[in-house]
Amino acid sequence: MEKIPRERIRNFCIIAHVDHGKTTLSDRLLQITGTVVESKLQNQMLDSMDLERERGITIKAHPVTMTYFYPKDKQYYQLNLIDTPGHVDFSYEVSRSLSACEGALLVIDATQGIQAQTVSNVFLAEKHNLVLIPVINKIDLPTANPELVKKQLEEILAIPADTAILASGKEGIGIDEILQAIIRHIPPPQAFPDQILRALIFDSVYDPFKGVILYVRMFSGKIKKGEKILLLSTKKSYEVKEVGIFNPKMVPEEELYEGNSGYVIANIKDPSEIKIGDTITWETGGTTSPLPGFQEIVPMVFSGIYPLNSSEFEKLKNAIQKLQINDPAITISQESSVALGSGFRCGFLGLLHMEIVQERLRREYGVDILTTYPSVVYKVYLRSGEILEVDNPSKLPDPSTIEHIAEPLVKAYLIVPSENIGELMQLISEKRGSCETTETLDQNMVILHCLFPLNEILVDFNDKLKSITHGYGSMDYKPAGYRISDLVKLDILVNGEPIEALSCIVHASKAESRGRAIIQKLKERIPRHLFKIALQAAIGSKIIAREDIGAIGKNVTAKCYGGDITRKRKLLEKQKEGKKRMKTFGKVDIPQEAFLEILKTDVKQS
């Protein structure tokens, strides 16, 4: 590739609410700039995972380098695009992509208008001082209303409506206009006069043959094969084996220079040696001050991940470690459970993030897994004055030592049709939330600013929101501190033995309904044994719900044809004694499906 000077390089990303057409727009940009030849062009070019294609969402940020001939000054420009995810759980991917850019295309669906994620992505981009170019996409649809979106741009985001570009990624409308706006409005990369190597690692992937592949944005200096580089956070040095750009596949180059986005392969075998957001410099004569990276990620949801087959523990361990390298948002620690064997306690950013990680473990690494009910981090204040952070119900100390428990809150804003407010208010109070303020967006939509306990919106809140609003509602949330609440640990006992994997921390008002629902599910799934099985839900020593699974009846008197009734009684008494003994020593077989049923689906609370 011919070297293009820094002044003619533009680094930008595309940000938007989920499903507003970012990836289709990226496909069109690749087509118009000739980056991908027509015969090889396919939909969702930058979504490399099967999972992304199936769900129609972007999970990982994908970089690509394009060359565009700008007719105004008859020069070639290098445009480095990073396609980012739109879902709330993947905002950390957006954050680190923004660290590597000077500008962003803000894509808004002309039929749906501004959504919750649009607002939060704009705030994130402004925090990184990026130049925003608004693009109103899908104008070819019959229900498109670009004028309304322009009005929303000015009223909600304070972005001048006349700067918006009307486009359709599907039909290819307005694509040249977008490319020219990128060149006109987004500034070239900032110059560092000293020319010392500074590169930001904004992502990384693990390749079994090449080791760790670093995705980098070059801020100054050059990097080429054979050079010795240093990672500032770990102070470890490596020899560069290959550098190149994404086109959109990896294309080796002689060198990467300032302004470029590309990849570096440097003989790094251990994924744990890499920190996303780290700075690469030369081993000798390099810089000592790191580039500003992206925000540190704090997991909000925790769940146990266990192999379905205990012999696959090592396979699961390797898979999670490899997955962690290009998804630093996962935190892992080893744990074991009597019911499920050895596994890992993993921290995630949200429910979709957890679901995607589980699905990737199954597909990319071929591990069959079982996950425990998701939990959040509670602050437990002990009578001794000590404060514990508990993310696993089994780690909760004895209730007699606890002063009180505080649960994490989130500040959520919901953008919903005004006709659904009544039903939504009901859902909000059902989830122990409170609506603080409402503001009108336009004649049809309103924004609700709410406060929720995080554990209440974990499992099914988004599904219910979509169901009530017929798909038109959207939500975004951010942490909002802790609040003391009346929380209890709910234990599930089978024949008097607590099943740790099914324990959970719930609000006292919901403990009975949740306990009843779980043991009902267990009753449906556990087969009958030769003895009666008691299923109980308990808070401490207090039993709040109970169900029994009856014993299998065996006709021990079948061989007695007539004769004295005392013979039959004797046999029945003998059977009764045997069943008593079995109840004391008998081990209940709980099928894996019973765990799967309870752990995978939300147990509806009455």
Q: How far apart are CA 459 and CA 371, in angstroms?
A: 13
* Residue 111 annotated as binding site: no
Cis peptide before 498 (omega within 30 of 0): no
Q: How far apart are CA 360 and CA 349, in angstroms?
A: 16
The type of residue at 553 is G
* Residue 20 annotated as binding site: yes
* Residue 275 annotated as binding site: no
Longest CA span, the chain: 112
* Residue 3 annotated as binding site: no
Among 140, 144, 210, 204, CA closest to 174: 140
- Burial class, 12, CB count within 10 angstroms (exposed 0-12 / middle 13-18 / buried 19+): buried
Other residues' Cβ atoms within 10 Å of the Cβ of residue 295:
13
The DSSP 8-state label assigned to residue 102 in this structure reads S
Three-state DSSP state, 36: coil
- Burial class, 314, CB count within 10 angstroms (exposed 0-12 / middle 13-18 / buried 19+): exposed
Other residues' Cβ atoms within 10 Å of the Cβ of residue 541:
7
- Burial class, 155, CB count within 10 angstroms (exposed 0-12 / middle 13-18 / buried 19+): middle
Q: How far apart are CA 156 and CA 161, in angstroms?
A: 11
* Residue 19 annotated as binding site: yes
* Residue 194 annotated as binding site: no
| Helix or strand holding residue 596 (H, E) | helix 592-600
Crossing angle for the helix pair 351-365 and 313-325, to the nearest 10 degrees: 120
Crossing angle for the helix pair 116-127 and 91-98, to the nearest 10 degrees: 30
Name residues whose C-beta falls within 8 Å of residue 235's C-beta, 6 or more positions apart in sequence: none
* Residue 139 annotated as binding site: yes
Structure tokens at 79: 């445009």
Annotated binding site: 19-24, 137-140
Annotated binding site for GTP: 19-24, 137-140
